[in-house]
């Protein structure tokens, strides 16, 4: 079953979307619901859905910002935007960030939802066939196949073609990984469209730009963990993670260990036992 997260601040709309479709017949299950983008982003970080169906206009964080942040953090969940007639500038932005489709609330019906879900299901199956793993799990490839991130990076370099803009971005990431790097900043750097850069980078490397950045940062963190006594929070900060908890989460996603566990395993130290 493909996991779906419903994001809508109007409870009756959310309930309508949930109730009018026999989700399981189409291969989907509603795994969670959120009332705004900020709440939804936290839920995505905890349990990555295959599909996010979200309203565009919401308090705290709108649907476009939610989509932008999930892409920046390397998540590949499909997005379908729920919109009103006057929201088309937001729709345009959402499509630039890679939204799969949009549905007008006023004309939303069982048929329109079924058609959209069928389209998304085909896209997800194609991703699974191409990768051999579900779309939402792409960002943990290096952890799932038990390759150390520092072993994966040379493989990425081998896969990259001589495309000059992608090479330029790769060189920048390796030279400036502790800095604030986003898809937007890299698109400005190479003077190309943001959505085009995002698509091109993934095509040429097999990874999203942010996922590749995470690999580089974790690879550098491993060097500090193995060859220094710096505390974990300082290592995270040195390699570009301003948030301690986020550093630990990304490190564990890629290595299947926390930074402390990794350091202990390299030094042969027993893990502390909680009493």
The DSSP annotation for 59-123 comes to SSS-HHHHHHHHHHTT---EEEEEE-GGGHHHHHHHHHTT--EEEEGGG--HHHHHHHHHHHHHH
> Do 173 and 69 have their domain in common?
no
> Do 112 and 173 have their domain in common?
no
User: Does position 14 have pLDDT exceeding 50, yes or no?
Assistant: yes
Cβ distance 30 to 18 under 8 Å? yes
The pLDDT tens digits of the residues spanning 158-194 come to 445 567 788 889 888 988 999 999 999 999 998 888 8
Q: Residue 83 forms beta bridges with which residues?
A: 104
Upper half-sphere CA count for residue 208 (Cβ side, 13 Å): 25
Least confident of 50-59, 172-181, 260-269: 260-269
Q: In the prediction, which pLDDT does 135 show? A: 36
Pairing, β 51-55 against β 101-104: unpaired
Question: Is residue 73 assigned to a domain?
Answer: yes
> Do 127 and 72 have their domain in common?
yes
Q: Which residues form the domain of 262? A: 146-267
User: Does position 129 have pLDDT exceeding 50, yes or no?
Assistant: yes
pTM of the model: 0.50
Question: Is residue 99 assigned to a domain?
Answer: yes
> Do 117 and 195 have their domain in common?
no
The pLDDT tens digits of the residues spanning 184-201 come to 999 999 888 888 888 888
> Do 157 and 244 have their domain in common?
yes
How many domains is the chain built from?
Answer: 2
The CATH number for 57's domain is: 3.40.50.2300
Distance CA 6, CA 30 (A): 7
Distance CA 119, CA 234 (A): 45
> Do 133 and 16 have their domain in common?
yes
């Amino acid at each position: 079953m493909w996991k779906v997260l419903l994001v809508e601040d109007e409870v009756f709309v959310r309930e309508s979307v949930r109730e009018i479709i026999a989700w399981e017949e189409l291969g989907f299950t509603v795994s969670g619901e959120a009332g705004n983008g900020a709440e939804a982003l936290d839920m995505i970080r905890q349990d990555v859905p295959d599909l996010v169906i979200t309203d565009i206009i919401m308090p705290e964080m709108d649907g476009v910002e939610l989509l932008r942040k999930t892409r920046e953090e390397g998540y590949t969940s499909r997005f379908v935007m729920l919109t009103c007639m006057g929201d088309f500038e937001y729709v345009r932005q959402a499509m630039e960030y890679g939204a799969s489709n949009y549905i007008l609330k006023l004309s939303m019906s069982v048929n329109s939802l079924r058609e959209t879900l069928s389209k998304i299901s085909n896209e997800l199956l194609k991703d699974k066939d191409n990768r051999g793993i579900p779309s939402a799990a792409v960002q943990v490839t290096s952890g799932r196949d038990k390759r150390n991130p520092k072993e994966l990076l040379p493989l990425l370099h081998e896969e990259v073609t001589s495309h000059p803009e992608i090479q330029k971005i790769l060189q920048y990431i390796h030279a400036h990984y502790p800095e604030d790097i986003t898809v937007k900043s890299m698109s400005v750097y190479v003077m190309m469209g943001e959505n085009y850069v995002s698509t091109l980078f993934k095509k040429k490397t097999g990874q999203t730009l942010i996922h590749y950045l995470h690999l580089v940062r974790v690879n550098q963190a491993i060097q500090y963990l193995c060859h220094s006594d710096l505390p974990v929070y300082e290592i995270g900060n040195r390699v570009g993670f301003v948030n301690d908890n986020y550093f630990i989460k990304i490190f564990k996603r890629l290595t299947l260990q926390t930074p402390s566990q990794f350091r202990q395993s390299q030094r042969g130290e027993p893990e502390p036992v909680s009493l």
